[in-house]
Amino acid sequence: MKPRVNFKPWRKISSILNVSRLVAENLLDDPQHFCLQTARRFGKSSHLNGLQRVVESRHIPAKLTGLTALLREDRLAVAEYVIAQGANWADPAKAARLADTAIASQLWDVAERVLDSAPLNRAAARSRARLEYSLGNLDEAIAVLVRNGNTNSRQLRHYRSELQVLESWNPVVNDQKRDWELNQGTPRVLYVATNSLPFTASGYTQRTHSLLMALQQDGVEVHAVTRVGYPLSIGNILAGPVSQIDGITYHRLLPPRLEFDAVAKLQQQTQLLSELVKELKPTVLHTTTDYTNALSIRAVADAFELPWVYEVRGQLADTWASTRPEKSRLSQRYRLFKEREAEVAASATSVLTLGHAMQKNLEESGVAGKRISVIPNGVGSPYTECAPDKYKTRAELGLDPQAQYFGTISSLVAYEGLDTLVKILANLTIKRPTLRLLVVGDGVEREPLMRLARELGVADKCIFPGRVSRNDAAKYHAAMDVFAVPRKNLVVTQDVTPLKPVEAMAFGVPVLASKLPALAELIQHEESGILVTADDLNEWTEAMEKLLNDQQLRVRLGQSGRGYVLNSRTWAACSQKLKQIYSQ
């Protein structure tokens, strides 16, 4: 199939109008959160450092201190600012603004303190509803808005629509039937993803792309399509309806007018998917978590009488709960999210997941074990090739070739437990003055980790390169003496296996990781890596020091880990198994 023409004048105008509406809707709905997401998307460090210096020099109003702290994702500074504004908490408009800033920074207790001190007018009610919604109390969020006169607000429509989808609503396909044969030859697959390269670089998008490339090399005809409105929804106005990346075709669902509430958007996505299916005539549909993708695919599969595969890549309800108080696991949203995921997984023709711990969870949720297959995270080029020279790579990255480096490449979020690595460096730095910590990636924990490094006096020995390209990520892997995965012991980390340690092992870098079920599936203790108790700083420090002191141990573990990954965890091996599932 020939790629569609990417740019037409009417399409560019439509994209600009869609993005303009999206910006306006989000600014009205939750301006602080929208500004934070924009800063994450378009980069923040250098510009915000400059703005922070201006604020501190008193050249502009001090109230911007809260904004700069929010955009820098410095939660401690945000908390200090909001609390320092205590004299304004009795003013409902000012209290609402301060509470919204705290909510955007996930400072739930601070936001609640502010709102408890303010009279509940319409502005404060919107903020209170936003807090209840963020904590998963959807009925209460809706009730707060209704009781306080916000009966026609977009916020109320948004909450009601999301609750409707979570509870029971399903999209439908209008007047579509299959008019092609499902032959027994090579499968033709339409793969529905939330986001993709080149607009989003993450473990999710890399797994998708790697699987598709491996399938295509195995002779499977593959097409991918991303969620409705993407990538306009993340600010790429000039994106066309088709992208070609390494020979893989990514289709974009870009309607003339993008719907915004959950029900209308999901129905729009489903109808556009049905039109694409009729055009491409696939023999199997494949999608990934979350349940909203599955709802669209299930409706299309039912209409065209096609088999469909649901790939469960994570426990997203638990990921959501990991950034909230423990009581959020009792919330309405958490319960409905889990129920909806279980329901759509149980209805799929076949279910895939990353590991055996996740397979067990799926079986416990009601999915028949015989329909579940494990397709783990894997590696391809350049990780299947010989690792680049460590010292040459360090020179290319501007690192000291003679220092020792440990660290990680990861999304910088709380459940990764990366504060453990900063504390290890502080414990070992006197005995090992050439030891350095590499923390590659970005996220809400970047600023707190940098602050902790300053407090412990090791900031000059920590390197935080931020988000890097895939090629540079491979270089940082190769540059390390020890790769660390200090994940906390939480529900989400017990069962979900990350991609980056697999890549480190493929390059022969020894891995030190928390002793959790998902990581134990990947690492055989003292054979292909070292497992230590999560959150035990003394045990972590001792294990790290042992590895740094023993080069022969590092080499042995690295070689064993590389052999294991190349024998069983390549994308080519995953493709062979997936191709067989499609054929069945």
pLDDT, one tens digit per residue, over 212-242 is 999 999 999 999 999 999 999 888 887 889 9
Average pLDDT, the chain: 91
Lowest mean pLDDT among 70-74, 414-418, 448-452: 70-74
Q: Are 108 and 326 in contact (CB under 8 A)?
A: no
What integer pLDDT is reported at residue 40 of this predicted model?
61
Domains of the chain: which residue ranges?
Answer: 9-167, 188-374, 390-568
Crossing angle (nearest 10°) for helices 64-71 and 31-42: 50
- The answer to whether domain 188-374 and domain 390-568 are alike in fold is yes
Can you say whether residue 236 is alpha, beta or left, with left for phi > 0 and alpha for psi between -120 and 50 degrees?
beta
Judge whether residue 525 has pLDDT over 80.
yes
Strands 462-466 and 435-440: parallel
Q: How many CA atoms lie within 13 A of 120 on its CB side?
A: 13
CATH architecture of 188-374: 3-Layer(aba) Sandwich (3.40)
Distances from the Cα of 157 to the Cα of 7, 19, 139, 164, angstroms: 34, 20, 13, 10
Task: Assign 42 a pLDDT band (cuts: 50, 70, 90).
Answer: low
Judge whether residue 202 has pLDDT over 90.
no
- Strands (E) across 507-578 are located at 511-514, 530-532
Judge whether residue 173 has pLDDT over 60.
yes
Judge whether residue 503 has pLDDT over 90.
yes
Q: Are 271 and 173 in contact (CB under 8 A)?
A: yes
What does the pLDDT look like over 303-324, one tens digit per residue?
A: 999 999 999 999 999 999 999 9
Q: Strand 188-193's sheet: what is its strand order? A: 242-245, 248-251, 221-226, 188-193, 284-288, 308-312, 350-353, 372-374
Question: Is 390-568 a CATH 3.50.50.60 domain?
Answer: no
- Strands (E) across 147-266 are located at 188-193, 221-226, 242-245, 248-251
Task: Assign 39 a pLDDT band (cuts: 50, 70, 90).
Answer: low
- DSSP-derived 3-state class of residue 248: strand
Crossing angle (nearest 10°) for helices 419-428 and 446-455: 20
The helices-and-strands tally (H runs, E runs) of the chain is 26, 14
What does the pLDDT look like over 471-498, one tens digit per residue?
A: 999 999 999 999 999 999 999 999 998 9
Lowest mean pLDDT among 40-54, 131-145, 236-250, 272-286: 40-54
Judge whether residue 10 has pLDDT over 60.
no
What integer pLDDT is reported at residue 548 of this predicted model?
97
What does the pLDDT look like over 349-360, one tens digit per residue?
A: 999 999 999 999
Would you state the structure tokens that stand for residue 382, as one six-digit string?
A: 């350049």
Q: Are 423 and 449 in contact (CB under 8 A)?
A: no
Lowest mean pLDDT among 30-44, 199-213, 307-321, 541-555: 30-44
